[in-house]
Amino acid sequence: MKGISRRRYVQHEARMVQGDEAAMFRQVILSVADSRIVSDTVKRYGFQLGARRFVAGETLDDAVAVTRAVNADGMAATLDHLGESVRDVAEARAAAAAYGELQARIAAEKLDANVSLKLSMMGLDIDRDLAVSETRALVETAVRLQNFVRIDMEDSRYTTVTLEIYRELWGAFPGSVGTVLQAYLRRSVDDLRALSDEPRNFRIVKGAYSEPHERAFPAKADVDDNFVRLVEMSLEAGHYTAIATHDERMIGSTLRYIRAHAVPRDRFEFQMLYGINLASLRELAREGYRTRVYIPYGTDWYAYFTRRLAERPANLLFFARALWSR
Ligand X SMILES: Cc1cc2nc3c(=O)[nH]c(=O)nc-3n(C[C@H](O)[C@H](O)[C@H](O)COP(=O)(O)OP(=O)(O)OC[C@H]3O[C@@H](n4cnc5c(N)ncnc54)[C@H](O)[C@@H]3O)c2cc1C
Residues annotated as catalytic are: 152, 203
| Rounded Cα gap, residues 250 and 224, in angstroms | 7
The residue (of 142 and 151) whose beta carbon lies closer to ligand X is 151
The residue (of 11 and 88) whose beta carbon lies closer to ligand X is 11
CB-based burial label for 317 (10 Å; 0-12, 13-18, 19+): middle
The residue (of 84 and 247) whose beta carbon lies closer to ligand X is 247
| Rounded Cα gap, residues 325 and 235, in angstroms | 48
Q: Which residues bind ligand X (CB under 6 A)?
A: 152-153, 180, 182, 205-209, 244-247, 271-273, 276-277, 294, 308, 311-312, 315
Smallest separation (angstroms) from ligand X to the CB of 3: 27
Backbone angles phi, psi at 111, to 5 degrees: -80, 150
Q: How many residues does the chain have?
A: 326
The residue (of 125 and 154) whose beta carbon lies closer to ligand X is 154
- CA-closest candidate to residue 29, choices 18, 42, 19, 10: 42
Smallest separation (angstroms) from ligand X to the CB of 77: 10
Smallest separation (angstroms) from ligand X to the CB of 308: 4
Q: How many CA atoms lie within 13 A of 87 on its CB side?
A: 0
| Rounded Cα gap, residues 85 and 75, in angstroms | 30
Smallest separation (angstroms) from ligand X to the CB of 81: 14
Smallest separation (angstroms) from ligand X to the CB of 2: 27
The residue (of 58 and 84) whose beta carbon lies closer to ligand X is 84
Q: What is the pairing mode between strands 113-117 and 76-81?
A: parallel
Smallest separation (angstroms) from ligand X to the CB of 206: 4
The residue (of 99 and 209) whose beta carbon lies closer to ligand X is 209
Q: Are 10 and 284 spatial neighbours (Cβ–Cβ below 8 Å)? A: no
| Rounded Cα gap, residues 122 and 132, in angstroms | 8
